[in-house]
Amino acid sequence: MPLQIVRNDITKMKVDAIVNAANSSLLGGGGVDGAIHRAAGPRLLAKCITLGGCKTGDAKITSGYKLPCKYVIHTVGPVWHGGDKGEKELLESCYRRSLSLAKENGCESVAFPLISSGVYGYPKDKALKVAVDVISEFLLENEMTVYIVVFDKKAYTIGEKLFADIAEYIDDRYAEEHSDCYSRRLSDMDSMPYMGSTVHRAPKMSAPTMASEVCYDSIEDDFCGSYSPVDLNEKLKELDESFSEMLLRMIDEKGMTDAECYKKANIDRKLFSKIRSNASYKPSKPTVIAFAIALGLTLAETEEMLKKAGFALSHSNKFDIIVEYFILKGNYNIHEINEALFAFDQSLLGV
């Protein structure tokens, strides 16, 4: 999984580089800055003294000394003054400069704290969004594993409104008997608040009744048509295809490249080539759902892809309910979904 959110002490991360939320003097301080200097030992400060400070939004690199990482990238985040003093652009620059320094120094893995979200007062949900947006944009063009390290739970919010919305959605469904009756879910959708994006209407797919007829009912209109022999063969072939065959077919049908799909799914290239080369590959459930999200599948298509891998969505599983929430809202941003999954202590989407 190229971008992961983990709860840890960044000084413990065994990665090529960790990023320090420093101040412009680079002479140490409290928070993560203090923790890194303590763990690295006095030679880090001795080196930093020679660097002549660092401008806000910029970054400088040193060795990791006694830390379990090769490098420390020191970046200086903006102090929050309400959001109209260019804070967002400066914070974006911290992540961009740190990532390019990591790349220039051959790093394959980097760990970030939530820069500026502590002493510098940047609202945590906004700080997280900047981090995720800049890192995921970088990962579309670069191969690297990036961690966002959350030190304590309170230092992490996805925004009260979204959190409350998801919590309510979970409560409404978590208790109910698991049912695979699409019509109940479809009727639920009508009562769901829109969040600025159209809700995907999941077509209801009933089991084929006759060899010559497959019925697809959608909310807008019922369509029960007979297929030509050619179409029918296609449909019957789809019923027999494996997960990886369905995945590759859907990538083609969506007009995506393989790379676009696995990057949007937050899946690394190595795993994708394993899936691509093995028609009977058995993926994990989070991996299947990550691809469904990357392909923008409806709930019914997601269920179908899960079935190919031997899984099903269940209302007795918070992870599944949160994924269903985002699909029905039409929000296919896998990093936003992972932020929500992390906030609810669930495993993340991806490998």
Q: Which of 33, 125, 268, 320 is catalytic?
A: 33
Judged by beta carbon, residue 28 or residue 203, the one nearer ligand APR is: 28
C-alpha dihedral sign at 295, 299, 300, 305: positive
Least distance to ligand APR from the beta carbon of 148, Å? 10
Nearest-CA neighbor of 206 among 193, 221, 220, 218? 218
Distances (CA, A) of 281 to 21, 267, 287, 297, 312: 42, 15, 12, 20, 17
The Cα–Cα gap between 7 and 44 comes to 25
Beta carbon of residue 163, minimum distance to ligand APR (angstroms, whole number)? 17
Q: What sign has the CA pseudo-torsion 292, 343, 149, 20?
A: positive
* Min separation Cβ 348 and ligand APR, Å: 18
Q: Which residue has the tokens 């500026």?
A: 116
Q: Which is nearer to ligand APR, 9 or 180 (by Cβ)?
A: 9
- Catalytic status, residue 33: yes
| CB proximity list for 73: less than 8 A, separation 6 or greater | 17, 18, 19, 20, 59, 60, 61, 98, 101, 102, 110
- Write down the least CB distance from residue 47 to ligand APR, Å: 16
Which residues contact ligand APR by CB under 6 A?
9-11, 21-23, 29-35, 77, 113-120, 149, 151-152, 155
Taking residue 265's Cβ as centre, other Cβ atoms within 10 Å add up to 26
Report the candidate in 128, 62, 119, 48 with the shortest Cα–Cα distance to residue 91.
128
Shortest gap between Cβ of 344 and ligand APR (angstroms)?
Answer: 19
| Minimum CB distance to ligand APR smaller for 151 or for 325 | 151
Q: Which is nearer to ligand APR, 29 or 296 (CB)?
A: 29
Asked whether the beta carbons of 36 and 68 are under 8 A apart, the reply is no
Rg (CA), the chain: 23
Closest CB to ligand APR among residues 149, 305 = 149
Residues annotated as catalytic are 33
